Chain A
Amino acid sequence: MRWKLTTKKGTSGGCHVRLFEEWQVDASVLEGDSSVLATDQWSWPMINAPTRSLESWIPASLCPLAVAEVAQSMQEARQYDPHRVRLTGMRLTVLGCILYRVEFSYNGEAETVLVGGLTNRVFTSRGKATGPTLTRRFSHALGFVVRQLAGVDYKPPVSREYINAVRNDRAHIFDTRMIVPQAAKLLGIEAKVTASGYTLLPKGVGVSGSERLAALEIGQDIDSSRQLVLCTRVRIGRAHRNRFPDALALGQELSFGRIGVAENSETGESFFDFVDCRVYDCLQVRHLAFIIRIVMEELRGLMDRRLLD
Protein backbone atom coordinates (compact mmCIF):
# COMPACT_ATOMS: atom_id res chain seq x y z
CA MET A 1 0.00 0.00 0.00
CA ARG A 2 1.38 3.41 -0.95
CA TRP A 3 0.07 6.72 0.25
CA LYS A 4 0.07 9.93 -1.63
CA LEU A 5 -0.01 13.17 0.32
CA THR A 6 -2.33 15.69 -1.23
CA THR A 7 -2.78 19.23 -0.01
CA LYS A 8 -5.36 21.82 -0.75
CA LYS A 9 -4.76 25.51 -0.53
CA GLY A 10 -7.60 27.88 -0.27
CA THR A 11 -8.76 31.28 0.81
CA SER A 12 -11.81 31.90 2.87
CA GLY A 13 -13.25 35.36 2.62
CA GLY A 14 -16.12 37.62 3.30
CA CYS A 15 -17.25 40.97 2.05
CA HIS A 16 -19.23 43.70 3.73
CA VAL A 17 -20.84 46.36 1.57
CA ARG A 18 -21.41 49.87 2.72
CA LEU A 19 -23.42 52.39 0.72
CA PHE A 20 -23.19 55.94 1.89
CA GLU A 21 -26.79 56.46 0.85
CA GLU A 22 -29.45 53.79 0.98
CA TRP A 23 -30.28 53.11 -2.66
CA GLN A 24 -32.35 50.19 -3.88
CA VAL A 25 -29.60 48.17 -5.44
CA ASP A 26 -27.87 44.86 -4.76
CA ALA A 27 -24.45 46.42 -4.51
CA SER A 28 -22.73 43.16 -3.52
CA VAL A 29 -22.52 42.26 -7.22
CA LEU A 30 -20.14 45.21 -7.60
CA GLU A 31 -17.53 43.49 -5.43
CA GLY A 32 -15.82 42.01 -8.46
CA ASP A 33 -16.30 45.22 -10.37
CA SER A 34 -14.37 47.48 -8.03
CA SER A 35 -10.84 48.75 -7.70
CA VAL A 36 -8.54 48.00 -4.78
CA LEU A 37 -8.18 51.23 -2.83
CA ALA A 38 -6.01 49.93 -0.02
CA THR A 39 -4.91 46.57 1.36
CA ASP A 40 -2.82 45.14 4.13
CA GLN A 41 -2.01 41.66 5.42
CA TRP A 42 -0.34 40.13 8.40
CA SER A 43 0.64 36.69 9.49
CA TRP A 44 -1.31 34.30 11.65
CA PRO A 45 -1.89 33.98 14.60
CA MET A 46 -3.78 37.15 15.23
CA ILE A 47 -1.78 37.96 18.33
CA ASN A 48 0.59 39.41 15.73
CA ALA A 49 -0.22 43.07 15.37
CA PRO A 50 -1.00 44.44 11.90
CA THR A 51 1.98 46.10 10.28
CA ARG A 52 0.12 49.42 10.55
CA SER A 53 -2.98 50.43 12.47
CA LEU A 54 -6.31 50.06 10.69
CA GLU A 55 -7.12 53.69 11.35
CA SER A 56 -4.08 54.82 9.42
CA TRP A 57 -5.23 53.40 6.10
CA ILE A 58 -8.96 52.61 6.32
CA PRO A 59 -11.45 55.50 6.02
CA ALA A 60 -12.90 56.30 9.44
CA SER A 61 -16.44 55.46 8.34
CA LEU A 62 -15.33 51.94 7.33
CA CYS A 63 -13.21 51.21 10.38
CA PRO A 64 -16.03 49.66 12.47
CA LEU A 65 -16.82 47.32 9.56
CA ALA A 66 -13.16 46.36 9.25
CA VAL A 67 -12.92 45.54 12.95
CA ALA A 68 -16.13 43.48 12.71
CA GLU A 69 -14.77 41.54 9.75
CA VAL A 70 -11.49 40.77 11.53
CA ALA A 71 -13.42 39.59 14.57
CA GLN A 72 -15.58 37.34 12.39
CA SER A 73 -12.50 35.82 10.75
CA MET A 74 -11.03 35.02 14.15
CA GLN A 75 -14.32 33.41 15.12
CA GLU A 76 -14.29 31.31 11.93
CA ALA A 77 -10.70 30.31 12.47
CA ARG A 78 -11.70 28.45 15.64
CA GLN A 79 -13.77 26.06 13.52
CA TYR A 80 -10.71 24.70 11.71
CA ASP A 81 -8.92 21.67 13.11
CA PRO A 82 -5.31 22.83 13.62
CA HIS A 83 -4.09 19.27 12.85
CA ARG A 84 -5.63 19.39 9.39
CA VAL A 85 -5.62 23.06 8.47
CA ARG A 86 -2.88 25.62 8.76
CA LEU A 87 -3.84 29.28 8.66
CA THR A 88 -1.11 31.48 7.29
CA GLY A 89 -2.45 35.00 7.44
CA MET A 90 -5.14 37.61 7.25
CA ARG A 91 -5.67 40.06 4.43
CA LEU A 92 -7.93 43.10 4.65
CA THR A 93 -8.79 45.03 1.52
CA VAL A 94 -10.83 48.14 0.85
CA LEU A 95 -12.47 48.13 -2.56
CA GLY A 96 -14.30 51.01 -4.08
CA CYS A 97 -16.24 52.12 -7.10
CA ILE A 98 -18.50 54.96 -8.19
CA LEU A 99 -22.23 54.38 -8.51
CA TYR A 100 -24.25 56.90 -10.51
CA ARG A 101 -27.94 57.41 -10.11
CA VAL A 102 -29.77 58.83 -13.12
CA GLU A 103 -33.29 60.11 -12.53
CA PHE A 104 -35.44 60.96 -15.47
CA SER A 105 -39.04 60.94 -16.67
CA TYR A 106 -40.30 58.86 -19.50
CA ASN A 107 -43.89 59.04 -20.81
CA GLY A 108 -44.75 61.04 -17.79
CA GLU A 109 -43.37 58.38 -15.45
CA ALA A 110 -40.48 58.98 -13.10
CA GLU A 111 -37.64 56.44 -13.66
CA THR A 112 -34.30 55.77 -12.03
CA VAL A 113 -31.29 53.94 -13.44
CA LEU A 114 -28.13 53.16 -11.47
CA VAL A 115 -24.85 52.69 -13.33
CA GLY A 116 -21.66 51.63 -11.58
CA GLY A 117 -18.55 49.53 -11.40
CA LEU A 118 -15.57 49.17 -13.68
CA THR A 119 -17.73 47.60 -16.39
CA ASN A 120 -20.60 50.11 -16.05
CA ARG A 121 -23.21 47.71 -14.80
CA VAL A 122 -26.75 49.05 -15.11
CA PHE A 123 -29.37 48.59 -12.36
CA THR A 124 -32.95 49.66 -12.85
CA SER A 125 -35.32 50.48 -10.07
CA ARG A 126 -38.47 52.46 -9.57
CA GLY A 127 -38.06 55.53 -7.47
CA LYS A 128 -39.70 58.65 -6.46
CA ALA A 129 -39.29 61.47 -8.96
CA THR A 130 -37.50 64.50 -7.67
CA GLY A 131 -38.76 66.73 -10.42
CA PRO A 132 -40.69 66.80 -13.70
CA THR A 133 -37.62 66.85 -15.91
CA LEU A 134 -34.57 64.76 -16.42
CA THR A 135 -32.09 65.33 -13.65
CA ARG A 136 -28.74 63.73 -12.89
CA ARG A 137 -27.32 63.21 -9.54
CA PHE A 138 -23.80 62.02 -9.11
CA SER A 139 -23.47 59.93 -6.08
CA HIS A 140 -20.96 59.14 -3.44
CA ALA A 141 -18.37 56.49 -3.46
CA LEU A 142 -19.40 53.03 -2.55
CA GLY A 143 -17.21 51.33 0.02
CA PHE A 144 -16.45 47.69 0.55
CA VAL A 145 -14.43 45.99 3.15
CA VAL A 146 -13.20 42.60 2.09
CA ARG A 147 -11.50 40.22 4.41
CA GLN A 148 -9.69 37.09 3.41
CA LEU A 149 -8.27 34.28 5.43
CA ALA A 150 -5.37 33.05 3.40
CA GLY A 151 -4.28 29.42 3.49
CA VAL A 152 -7.36 27.61 4.69
CA ASP A 153 -6.81 23.85 4.12
CA TYR A 154 -3.20 24.63 3.40
CA LYS A 155 -0.56 22.07 4.16
CA PRO A 156 3.04 22.64 3.13
CA PRO A 157 4.18 20.37 0.28
CA VAL A 158 7.32 19.41 2.16
CA SER A 159 8.09 18.24 5.66
CA ARG A 160 9.84 20.11 8.44
CA GLU A 161 12.58 17.45 8.30
CA TYR A 162 13.20 18.37 4.68
CA ILE A 163 13.49 22.09 5.45
CA ASN A 164 15.94 21.38 8.27
CA ALA A 165 17.92 18.94 6.11
CA VAL A 166 18.27 21.53 3.33
CA ARG A 167 19.33 24.18 5.85
CA ASN A 168 21.95 21.83 7.29
CA ASP A 169 23.26 20.67 3.89
CA ARG A 170 21.99 17.16 4.45
CA ALA A 171 19.50 17.25 1.55
CA HIS A 172 19.56 18.93 -1.83
CA ILE A 173 16.70 21.32 -2.46
CA PHE A 174 15.36 19.22 -5.37
CA ASP A 175 15.07 16.12 -3.20
CA THR A 176 11.82 16.98 -1.45
CA ARG A 177 11.32 13.37 -0.37
CA MET A 178 14.92 13.12 0.84
CA ILE A 179 15.27 9.73 -0.79
CA VAL A 180 18.97 10.03 -1.60
CA PRO A 181 20.18 10.72 1.97
CA GLN A 182 17.86 7.99 3.25
CA ALA A 183 19.16 5.48 0.70
CA ALA A 184 22.75 6.45 1.52
CA LYS A 185 22.02 5.93 5.21
CA LEU A 186 20.68 2.43 4.48
CA LEU A 187 23.94 1.71 2.66
CA GLY A 188 26.07 3.24 5.38
CA ILE A 189 27.71 5.74 3.04
CA GLU A 190 27.74 9.51 2.99
CA ALA A 191 25.66 11.57 0.56
CA LYS A 192 27.44 14.88 0.19
CA VAL A 193 25.26 17.72 -1.08
CA THR A 194 26.71 19.53 -4.10
CA ALA A 195 25.51 22.36 -6.33
CA SER A 196 23.77 19.97 -8.72
CA GLY A 197 22.71 17.20 -6.34
CA TYR A 198 24.70 14.67 -4.37
CA THR A 199 28.05 12.95 -4.48
CA LEU A 200 28.15 9.45 -3.06
CA LEU A 201 31.58 8.14 -2.27
CA PRO A 202 31.46 4.35 -2.48
CA LYS A 203 33.08 2.30 0.22
CA GLY A 204 36.44 0.90 -0.71
CA VAL A 205 37.50 3.70 -3.01
CA GLY A 206 41.27 3.77 -2.96
CA VAL A 207 41.66 0.14 -1.93
CA SER A 208 43.08 -2.56 -4.15
CA GLY A 209 41.08 -3.27 -7.30
CA SER A 210 38.65 -0.39 -6.77
CA GLU A 211 40.93 2.59 -6.85
CA ARG A 212 39.58 3.63 -10.24
CA LEU A 213 35.92 3.68 -9.25
CA ALA A 214 34.81 7.29 -9.22
CA ALA A 215 32.17 8.80 -6.98
CA LEU A 216 28.51 8.56 -7.95
CA GLU A 217 26.92 11.84 -8.91
CA ILE A 218 23.16 11.93 -8.36
CA GLY A 219 21.07 14.76 -9.74
CA GLN A 220 17.62 15.55 -10.99
CA ASP A 221 16.48 16.39 -14.49
CA ILE A 222 13.39 16.51 -16.71
CA ASP A 223 13.31 13.92 -19.49
CA SER A 224 11.79 14.37 -22.96
CA SER A 225 8.40 13.15 -21.63
CA ARG A 226 8.54 15.97 -19.05
CA GLN A 227 8.94 13.52 -16.18
CA LEU A 228 11.04 14.40 -13.17
CA VAL A 229 13.89 11.90 -13.15
CA LEU A 230 16.68 11.05 -10.75
CA CYS A 231 19.92 10.39 -12.62
CA THR A 232 22.91 8.53 -11.23
CA ARG A 233 26.15 9.08 -13.14
CA VAL A 234 29.63 7.69 -12.77
CA ARG A 235 32.54 8.70 -14.99
CA ILE A 236 34.30 5.55 -16.14
CA GLY A 237 37.11 6.93 -18.26
CA ARG A 238 38.17 8.12 -21.71
CA ALA A 239 36.06 6.68 -24.51
CA HIS A 240 37.79 4.83 -27.31
CA ARG A 241 35.97 4.51 -30.59
CA ASN A 242 36.89 0.86 -31.00
CA ARG A 243 35.18 0.07 -27.67
CA PHE A 244 31.85 1.67 -28.63
CA PRO A 245 30.09 -1.63 -29.58
CA ASP A 246 31.28 -3.30 -26.36
CA ALA A 247 30.13 -0.30 -24.32
CA LEU A 248 26.67 -0.40 -25.88
CA ALA A 249 26.44 -4.17 -25.51
CA LEU A 250 27.15 -3.86 -21.78
CA GLY A 251 23.57 -2.64 -21.43
CA GLN A 252 22.49 -6.28 -21.87
CA GLU A 253 24.70 -7.36 -19.00
CA LEU A 254 24.20 -4.61 -16.43
CA SER A 255 21.36 -5.04 -13.96
CA PHE A 256 20.57 -1.32 -14.01
CA GLY A 257 21.53 1.62 -16.21
CA ARG A 258 23.71 1.82 -19.30
CA ILE A 259 26.93 3.14 -20.70
CA GLY A 260 26.83 6.46 -22.54
CA VAL A 261 29.35 8.69 -24.23
CA ALA A 262 29.64 12.33 -23.18
CA GLU A 263 31.81 14.84 -24.97
CA ASN A 264 33.73 17.66 -23.39
CA SER A 265 32.74 20.64 -25.55
CA GLU A 266 35.97 22.53 -24.76
CA THR A 267 38.56 19.82 -25.32
CA GLY A 268 36.58 17.58 -27.68
CA GLU A 269 37.46 14.56 -25.54
CA SER A 270 34.89 11.77 -25.15
CA PHE A 271 34.22 9.88 -21.95
CA PHE A 272 32.36 6.72 -21.06
CA ASP A 273 29.79 7.42 -18.36
CA PHE A 274 27.56 5.04 -16.49
CA VAL A 275 24.02 6.51 -16.39
CA ASP A 276 20.86 5.31 -14.66
CA CYS A 277 17.67 7.39 -14.76
CA ARG A 278 14.43 6.67 -12.91
CA VAL A 279 11.16 8.51 -12.44
CA TYR A 280 11.57 10.40 -9.15
CA ASP A 281 7.94 10.29 -8.04
CA CYS A 282 7.79 6.49 -8.27
CA LEU A 283 11.14 5.76 -6.67
CA GLN A 284 11.23 4.00 -3.29
CA VAL A 285 14.08 4.58 -0.84
CA ARG A 286 14.90 0.88 -0.38
CA HIS A 287 14.84 0.35 -4.16
CA LEU A 288 17.26 3.24 -4.68
CA ALA A 289 19.56 1.84 -1.99
CA PHE A 290 19.43 -1.57 -3.66
CA ILE A 291 20.14 -0.09 -7.10
CA ILE A 292 23.09 1.97 -5.83
CA ARG A 293 24.58 -1.10 -4.16
CA ILE A 294 24.26 -3.22 -7.30
CA VAL A 295 25.59 -0.41 -9.52
CA MET A 296 28.67 -0.03 -7.33
CA GLU A 297 29.28 -3.80 -7.36
CA GLU A 298 28.90 -4.11 -11.10
CA LEU A 299 30.99 -1.05 -11.89
CA ARG A 300 33.78 -2.39 -9.69
CA GLY A 301 33.66 -5.63 -11.65
CA LEU A 302 33.68 -3.71 -14.91
CA MET A 303 36.70 -1.67 -13.83
CA ASP A 304 38.54 -4.72 -12.57
CA ARG A 305 37.97 -6.57 -15.85
CA ARG A 306 39.08 -3.43 -17.72
CA LEU A 307 36.25 -4.00 -20.21
CA LEU A 308 36.27 -0.48 -21.59
CA ASP A 309 40.01 0.28 -21.55
Chain B
Amino acid sequence: MATIIEQLATALQSSGLVVGLEHHAQAILAKLATSGGRTQVVKVSLEQRKQSSDYLVRLTSRACKAEHHSIIKEALKTNSLSEVGSLSLNTAGSTSVIDVRHSLVAEGLQFDEFVSALRTVAFHADAIEQRMGGGDKF
Protein backbone atom coordinates (compact mmCIF):
# COMPACT_ATOMS: atom_id res chain seq x y z
CA MET B 1 0.00 0.00 0.00
CA ALA B 2 1.40 3.40 -1.01
CA THR B 3 2.40 5.79 1.77
CA ILE B 4 0.92 9.28 1.86
CA ILE B 5 4.26 10.60 0.54
CA GLU B 6 4.12 8.22 -2.42
CA GLN B 7 0.52 9.24 -3.10
CA LEU B 8 1.49 12.93 -3.00
CA ALA B 9 4.47 12.27 -5.27
CA THR B 10 2.27 10.49 -7.82
CA ALA B 11 -0.29 13.31 -7.73
CA LEU B 12 2.45 15.94 -8.07
CA GLN B 13 3.99 14.16 -11.05
CA SER B 14 0.72 14.08 -12.93
CA SER B 15 -0.27 17.64 -11.96
CA GLY B 16 2.55 19.34 -13.85
CA LEU B 17 3.12 21.66 -10.89
CA VAL B 18 6.77 20.74 -10.47
CA VAL B 19 9.74 20.96 -12.82
CA GLY B 20 11.69 18.25 -11.02
CA LEU B 21 10.82 15.52 -8.55
CA GLU B 22 12.68 12.83 -6.60
CA HIS B 23 11.05 10.71 -3.95
CA HIS B 24 11.18 7.64 -1.77
CA ALA B 25 8.75 6.25 0.79
CA GLN B 26 9.35 8.94 3.42
CA ALA B 27 10.30 12.11 1.53
CA ILE B 28 9.93 14.07 -1.69
CA LEU B 29 12.28 16.65 -3.17
CA ALA B 30 10.13 18.82 -5.41
CA LYS B 31 11.59 21.55 -7.60
CA LEU B 32 9.14 24.33 -8.45
CA ALA B 33 9.48 27.13 -10.97
CA THR B 34 9.04 30.41 -9.09
CA SER B 35 9.55 33.69 -10.94
CA GLY B 36 11.91 35.10 -13.55
CA GLY B 37 13.21 31.66 -14.53
CA ARG B 38 14.15 30.87 -10.93
CA THR B 39 13.47 27.58 -9.18
CA GLN B 40 13.16 26.47 -5.57
CA VAL B 41 13.47 23.00 -4.01
CA VAL B 42 11.04 21.98 -1.27
CA LYS B 43 11.54 18.87 0.84
CA VAL B 44 8.30 17.14 1.81
CA SER B 45 8.64 14.60 4.59
CA LEU B 46 6.39 12.56 6.82
CA GLU B 47 7.23 12.88 10.50
CA GLN B 48 5.75 11.24 13.54
CA ARG B 49 5.30 13.54 16.54
CA LYS B 50 7.36 12.57 19.57
CA GLN B 51 5.52 10.26 21.99
CA SER B 52 2.48 10.30 19.77
CA SER B 53 0.81 8.35 17.00
CA ASP B 54 0.13 11.55 15.04
CA TYR B 55 1.86 12.20 11.74
CA LEU B 56 2.69 15.54 10.15
CA VAL B 57 3.60 16.36 6.57
CA ARG B 58 6.50 18.78 6.83
CA LEU B 59 7.49 21.12 4.02
CA THR B 60 10.98 22.62 4.25
CA SER B 61 12.82 24.88 1.86
CA ARG B 62 16.21 26.50 2.38
CA ALA B 63 16.17 30.29 2.14
CA CYS B 64 19.64 31.63 3.04
CA LYS B 65 22.66 31.31 5.28
CA ALA B 66 22.35 32.80 8.76
CA GLU B 67 25.65 34.62 8.67
CA HIS B 68 24.84 37.63 10.86
CA HIS B 69 22.82 38.32 13.96
CA SER B 70 20.88 40.92 11.96
CA ILE B 71 19.54 38.14 9.72
CA ILE B 72 18.23 36.29 12.78
CA LYS B 73 16.56 39.44 14.10
CA GLU B 74 15.04 40.15 10.69
CA ALA B 75 13.76 36.55 10.44
CA LEU B 76 12.10 36.84 13.86
CA LYS B 77 10.41 40.08 12.81
CA THR B 78 9.21 38.42 9.59
CA ASN B 79 7.84 35.56 11.68
CA SER B 80 5.56 37.95 13.53
CA LEU B 81 3.82 38.90 10.26
CA SER B 82 0.77 37.09 8.91
CA GLU B 83 2.60 34.84 6.46
CA VAL B 84 2.14 31.15 5.81
CA GLY B 85 5.52 29.47 6.29
CA SER B 86 7.76 29.81 9.31
CA LEU B 87 11.37 30.95 9.27
CA SER B 88 13.53 28.80 11.50
CA LEU B 89 17.23 28.55 12.29
CA ASN B 90 18.78 25.24 11.30
CA THR B 91 22.10 24.67 13.07
CA ALA B 92 22.45 20.99 12.23
CA GLY B 93 25.05 21.45 9.50
CA SER B 94 28.47 23.08 9.47
CA THR B 95 26.84 26.40 8.53
CA SER B 96 23.70 27.76 10.16
CA VAL B 97 20.91 28.35 7.65
CA ILE B 98 17.40 29.81 7.61
CA ASP B 99 14.71 27.38 6.47
CA VAL B 100 11.10 28.12 5.58
CA ARG B 101 8.94 25.40 7.11
CA HIS B 102 5.25 24.58 7.26
CA SER B 103 3.50 21.57 8.78
CA LEU B 104 0.22 19.99 7.79
CA VAL B 105 -1.82 17.35 9.56
CA ALA B 106 -1.24 14.14 7.60
CA GLU B 107 -4.55 12.46 8.41
CA GLY B 108 -7.22 13.58 5.97
CA LEU B 109 -4.83 15.92 4.11
CA GLN B 110 -6.37 17.23 0.89
CA PHE B 111 -4.25 17.63 -2.23
CA ASP B 112 -5.31 21.27 -2.81
CA GLU B 113 -4.27 22.15 0.75
CA PHE B 114 -0.92 20.45 0.19
CA VAL B 115 -0.33 22.21 -3.15
CA SER B 116 -1.23 25.59 -1.68
CA ALA B 117 1.29 25.08 1.14
CA LEU B 118 3.95 23.73 -1.23
CA ARG B 119 3.74 26.77 -3.51
CA THR B 120 3.65 29.21 -0.62
CA VAL B 121 6.75 27.70 1.01
CA ALA B 122 8.64 27.64 -2.31
CA PHE B 123 7.79 31.25 -3.19
CA HIS B 124 8.47 32.50 0.34
CA ALA B 125 11.90 30.82 0.52
CA ASP B 126 12.87 31.90 -3.00
CA ALA B 127 11.87 35.52 -2.30
CA ILE B 128 14.14 35.57 0.76
CA GLU B 129 17.00 33.95 -1.15
CA GLN B 130 16.62 36.55 -3.89
CA ARG B 131 16.45 39.42 -1.38
CA MET B 132 19.59 38.20 0.35
CA GLY B 133 21.42 38.24 -3.00
CA GLY B 134 22.24 34.54 -2.75
CA GLY B 135 21.69 33.71 -6.42
CA ASP B 136 19.48 30.70 -7.07
CA LYS B 137 21.28 27.91 -5.21
CA PHE B 138 18.32 26.45 -3.33
User: Which A residues have a C-beta under 8 Å from some C-beta of B?
Assistant: 2, 221-225, 227, 229, 231, 239, 241, 244-245, 247-252, 254-263, 273, 275-279, 282-284, 286-287, 290-291, 294
Contact = CB atoms under 8 A, between A and B. Distances in A.
Given A255-B103, A294-B54, 8 more contacts: A2-B112, A248-B79, A251-B99, A254-B86, A260-B81, A261-B80, A279-B120, A286-B108
Contacts of A252: 88-90, 99, 101
Question: Which of A221, A254, A258 has its CB near the most chain B CB atoms (within 10 A)?
Answer: A258
Nearest to A282: B113
A36 to B, nearest CB: 44
23 contacts: A221-B82, A229-B83, A239-B76, A248-B87, A250-B88, A251-B88, A252-B88, A252-B89, A254-B86, A256-B103, A258-B87, A260-B77, A261-B73, A261-B79, A262-B77, A262-B80, A275-B79, A275-B82, A277-B82, A279-B120, A282-B110, A284-B108, A284-B110
Contacts of A225: 84, 120, 123
Contact of A248 (B76, B105, B112): B76
Contacts of B72: 244-245, 248
Interface of A is mostly: mixed
A227 B112 contact: no
A249 B89 contact: yes
Contact of A260 (B49, B69, B78, B113): B78
| Chain B binding surface, main DSSP class | mixed
B110 A223 contact: no
Interface string B90-112: 11000000110101110010101
A244 B73 CA distance: 7
A258 B66 CA distance: 17
Given A273-B80, A290-B105, A294-B49, A258 B110 contact: no
B75 interface: yes
B56 interface: yes
Contacts of B117: 279, 282
Closest 4 CB pairs of A and B: A251-B88, A260-B80, A260-B79, A258-B86
Interface of B: 49, 54, 56, 66, 69, 72-73, 75-84, 86-91, 98-99, 101, 103-105, 108, 110, 112-113, 116-117, 120, 123
Nearest to B85: A277
B73 A223 contact: no
B76 A227 contact: no
B66 to A, nearest CB: 8
A222 B82 contact: yes
B84 A279 contact: yes
Nearest to A262: B80
Nearest to A223: B83
Contact of A223 (B49, B79, B82, B87): B82
Contact of A279 (B79, B80, B91, B113): B113
A224 B110 CA distance: 23
